[in-house]
Structure 1
């Protein structure tokens, strides 16, 4: 895959329509100082200081900002948001990216926008305080979301299905409704990334890491799963799911398994500090964009591998990968011959 081919793919990304349904969050990063010498006059407890607050989209929202960074101009989100200050921040972040939020709705229940705090204490992430982890959406409200999604699918090239939360929007039972839509819209490409309900995905390309694959199959996860382990168990899972499987292997690379095709790419040799948080979101977004552009699996693997290598080098943030960053990394690791 040459630099001109990468440029050509990015030009195609601008014309595709991608939807994302699932669990949206805001990541709040800030620097934390716990040894301040200040005591609260009201409680007599030590006061901690925060500084440099910065918010970005997390969970399914990180997939969205990765899509936009890749040049996908038409992105629509389908899900829930709370009527609270974190929800207003989420809307601001979506609006700044030009994302269509018409199907991002406020549930009638007492629903909090999910927020993950990311306090940086002496270069390490300290204890988080999270919001929205106990949210639950009623079945009638979910049915209204499905009506909107079904209407949107007639305009989409790709739908990304995300499950991140312990109490997710897409429960095991609700995945049956999603699977019905997968069967009814054969011209739409479906990509799923499910933390715990991956066994309920049928017919879509499912992205898993090796630990998730082992958990979905109910088998032990070796300390260092090799490619033969991934192929053997990936084929076993794919036979059950009926769709392609995309296995991320950390620094070892990525593996793609379909009914009549197996493609693999090795990870890049990277130096310096690395932060793998959100790298799977980058892979999902890049793979979805490549599906929309009808790229060959070998090209999609290489581009996803490059994009993930860009983001893991961005520490203490939910990173994204742009065309210029991907091209720079490509030129430093590959020849265009």
Structure 2
């Protein structure tokens, strides 16, 4: 178990950290609707009535929200968004966090990635209706990639470590292009001791450097196994990744916790705290990431880092209808409750 002394040492060090982030930054927009809509005179269709709009940084922003709640001193996001209304709203929310936004590139040729989520009351519950997705389904231009690599190098020099989030499935259409990934690899060669932690939905197998993290489906897709395969297959897959990168590998496996593979060929499952009642797993992997990275940067072992990430995820999944976060006080309370 994560000791009280180690937990305190991690939490007390967080305000001194500067963490760089590279990847896909989205706007999560929640539209709260009235229970009953009105009928449009023009179309005869139901016109949903929005009573409140809630905006949050999503994707890379979900990690940032979690790092902010933990009390991390400064974040340096490096990304590309659009020069549009969604981008304006996104930057307004980002600036509420302990963030230096100078390396966020606003490209007028692109749309700001946005998930719009209508939320309709149904009895005493809230139902999410069909989501509206906005983003540019085309590769980044060469000029923007040039600028992006320059900004990444600046972030690399100014931070204690990097989190890389490859969210977009279409090849070349997100921030983490082949060229950006190759550039990150070159940075890792310059300083192999500095943390680069990468989480990729579709291309985890293309990362041959740094600390890797995936969930069960992402690890399975990367090595070509059934996501429902026996856990022994995931022990083998994670160990193979660790042997390739010479760094720890983390595989989140839902309520079971996190599988950790290390460079010595060993792997273990770090159990998650058990929770009761309704849960919402949206953003659970990103909250685990925030815990794993901050713990590693403060000197924790991979197993301790996985325990810290599990603690945070066990708190965030109990926050319904939003992508949750966890504060140091909540983490201490959860840790005490499982002793």
TM-score normalized by the length of structure 2:
0.92
Select the residue among 198, 211, 217 that pairs with 2:223.
217
After TM superposition, give the deviation of residue 242 of structure 1 in Å.
4.0
Aligned to 2:112: 113
Aligned to 2:257: 253
- Match of 1:99, SS state, is coil
Aligned to 2:16: 15
Contact 1:157/1:189 (CA < 8 Å) preserved in 2?
yes
Superposed CA deviations along residues 19-66 of structure 1, whole A, max 9, x for unmatched, are: 000000111113335743x22223332211223321111101111111
Superposed CA deviations along residues 229-281 of structure 1, whole A, max 9, x for unmatched, are: 32122223333444321010000101111111434311222111100110100
Aligned to 1:141: 144
Output the CA distance in 2 between the equivalents of 1:47 and 1:162.
36
| Correspondence list, 1:31-42, <5 A | 31-33=32-34, 35-36=36-37, 38-42=38-42
Aligned to 2:58: 58
Aligned to 1:264: 269
Output the CA distance in 1 between the equivalents of 2:117 and 2:4.
36
Aligned to 1:295: 300
| Correspondence list, 1:183-222, <5 A | 183-222=189-228
Output the CA distance in 2 between the equivalents of 1:98 and 1:213.
32
Q: Which runs of 4+ in 1 moved over 4 A?
A: none
Select the residue among 274, 280, 294 that pairs with 2:279.
274
Specify which structure has the bigger relative contact order, considering alpha-carbon pairs within 8 angstroms and separated by 6 or more residues: 1
Q: Does 1:233 align with 2:237?
A: yes
Superposed CA deviations along residues 282-308 of structure 1, whole A, max 9, x for unmatched, are: 111111111211112232121111000
Aligned to 2:102: 102
CA RMSD, aligned part only? 1.8
Q: Does 1:75 align with 2:75?
A: yes
After TM superposition, give the deviation of residue 317 of structure 1 in Å.
0.4
Aligned to 2:156: 153
Question: Structure 1: which 5+ runs fail to align?
Answer: none
Q: State the number of aligned residues.
A: 330
Contact 1:31/1:53 (CA < 8 Å) preserved in 2?
yes
After TM superposition, give the deviation of residue 135 of structure 1 in Å.
4.9
Given the superposition, is the C-alpha separation of residues 133 and 250 from structure 1 closer, same or farther in structure 2, using an over 3 Å criterion?
farther
Contact 2:242/2:248 (CA < 8 Å) preserved in 1?
yes
Aligned to 1:175: 181
Contact 2:211/2:245 (CA < 8 Å) preserved in 1?
no
Output the CA distance in 1 between the equivalents of 2:23 and 2:164.
6
Q: Does 1:309 align with 2:314?
A: yes
Output the CA distance in 2 between the equivalents of 1:76 and 1:287.
18
Aligned to 2:43: 43
- Match of 1:64, SS state, is helix
Output the CA distance in 2 between the equivalents of 1:50 and 1:136.
34
